[in-house]
Amino acid sequence: MRASEVMVTDVIVAAAGATSAEVAALMRVKNISVVPVVDNPKDRHYMGTISDRDIVAHCVGAGHDPTDCSAADHARTDTPVVKPDTELKGFKVAKQPDPTDHHVRSTIIVLDGDKKVVGFIPHPEEIPGIQFGS
């Protein structure tokens, strides 16, 4: 099974310059918990991923004002990325590199050859053949 067969193509993204408060509001309205961070919504070049947990733990929990932090400030770059033609059977999602962070981020971002966000796989643990771990 290829990524293009299971990816969501109507991907909600956050611009790198959006504040953490704006991203949190977007997540609330769209009922989502993670979004790809892109250079701008038109070009959609991937820069990282931000989750509601990242905003809480790394912005609010660190004592920062979420209206002063940008999405780029707390975007993670360790989210797995694939191309639309990537075969998912046997694809491995590694453990998070930060040993103090035990939160499992089960998301895969799908990028085209220009690193533009074209898809999103929100629950890859439900796809047969994808492996999680070291």
**89: CATH:** 3.10.580.10
The rounded Cα 111 to chain-centroid distance in angstroms is: 12
- Model pLDDT, residue 122: 83
> How many domains does one find in the chain?
1
Query: Each residue of 84-106: pLDDT tens digit?
Result: 999 988 887 775 555 555 555 67
114, pLDDT greater than 70: yes
Query: Each residue of 25-65: pLDDT tens digit?
Result: 999 999 999 999 999 989 999 999 999 999 998 899 999 99
Range of the domain at 54: 3-133
Phi-psi category of 84—alpha, beta or left, where left has phi over 0 and alpha has psi -120 to 50?
alpha
pTM: 0.87
